[in-house]
Chains A and B, each alone.
Chain A
């Protein structure tokens, strides 16, 4: 205990990293379940249903499958780079999530704020730096497979990523101009308050065009539909990860979902007000919302268990119902209720953006590659620049008027 008292930063950071990693990897796995279910329902079918109750053990089955598949290395592949590429992709994708604030900085243990792993003063720049390095994973994977389709897919994918990175960073500069800082916590603090007591002062309202540019660039950056030509099955077999099997393929898969989560978290922090609630602080009855939501979920699951399910699904559903009940009741405790407000709203907003991502996957056709690149350079980049210039102009207008 003396060690803990003398090194609070180290101990708290280690615990935060372990918890975050555990939660993150579980979320990645269940994000695949979420996507498959939502796309299935959009396509009038059910999605994973048999593996666990409502298909909830499907990610586990997929993980076991990936671990036990034969690990094939293509002949003539450069072994060092072949193994390095998925590691690079996954580790970089997971690193950005250390900079994201999940809640207000005043929730503290031993004097260290617990809801953000690393409160860096230039948080936004570091996130973009790590995203810029993510291109290597894709390019090196395509090259080191020693095969035509991965090479082409890898080059196309990395060219797409670096093209849309430009408009991604430019569309965010408007927000930086409004906030005046690159620190995430201060940016969110600047979004508190209301316009005329009605509209929350989130950055999406002055920067709507910036938000649209950011969102479209983010979808292209993470190689998702409608910009997923480099990994489409009908076009390039499977793009840059054709020659990868078993766990290395799983790492690419996880890296893509981790990139999606990062981009969604950034969108909430920059444009949607982060962990701030959209309702006024004075409506304290809304503090019961997490508890009410979880208890409603437990009620629905109880109905499912008792009325609908049969066999082993009943046992699994009972376990999940009890879990939801316990967490829901825990949210009624005052300390837990105060702590969970920030993360609740943050996760709600991130979940909404992920839903839009998956919704688009189920609905939209994909761009052709030249249409994709033309869109990025000839439309998104000028629009982001115009947004930046307009924001700067509006920001400096009072100074010009006063001096002129």
Chain B
């Protein structure tokens, strides 16, 4: 529904549903804190901004161009076949095998306490770098939105 909806608002709402489903997947894996943060950040803030933009720009119903008969009937099956083949290739590669067996760090307990211990001790530099990245994005938005004097 995300890619097939005619109204852009329906697509945005489907994306909110996808984010919530991701949060539920996190819950099922035992990472409650990340599930809550996923909902707060993605579904609750980022998607709200998406919805704002769609509402303000009043994007209309998407045009359907039914020009190519090949794309209409053979597109989806061929796409699925490509996806399956890629998945098969990746699963049997080194990366796929590592992910399937799980790495040690990913399988340890994900309570808030351990998560924060990892985030602020071992991964401190990526954390600070990410915050500077977000700051740069905010500055860029400010520069773009500033009125010319």
Contact = CB atoms under 8 A, between A and B. Distances in A.
A29 interface: no
A195 interface: no
Contact of B45 (A81, A122, A132, A182): A132
Nearest to A127: B36
Residue among A133, A139, A142, A159 having the largest count of chain B Cβ atoms under 10 Å: A133
Contacts, number: 66
A129 B48 contact: no
Nearest to A80: B10
A162 B48 contact: yes
A122 B38 CA distance: 13
Interface in A118-135: 120-122, 125-126, 128-130, 132-133, 135
Interface residues of B, number: 22
A305 interface: no
Contacts of A253: none
B24 to A, nearest CB: 12
Nearest to A130: B39
A177 B57 CA distance: 42
Interface in A256-275: none
A132 B55 contact: no
A122 B43 contact: no
Nearest to A132: B44
Contact of A135 (B32, B48, B56): B48
Given A125-B40, A129-B39, A143-B9, A155 B112 contact: no
Interface in B30-86: 32-33, 36-37, 39-40, 43-45, 48, 51-52, 55-56
Interface of B: 7, 9-10, 13, 16, 23, 32-33, 36-37, 39-40, 43-45, 48, 51-52, 55-56, 111-112
Given A80-B10, A126-B36, A133-B44, 10 more contacts: A78-B7, A122-B112, A125-B40, A130-B39, A135-B48, A139-B48, A140-B51, A143-B55, A155-B52, A158-B52
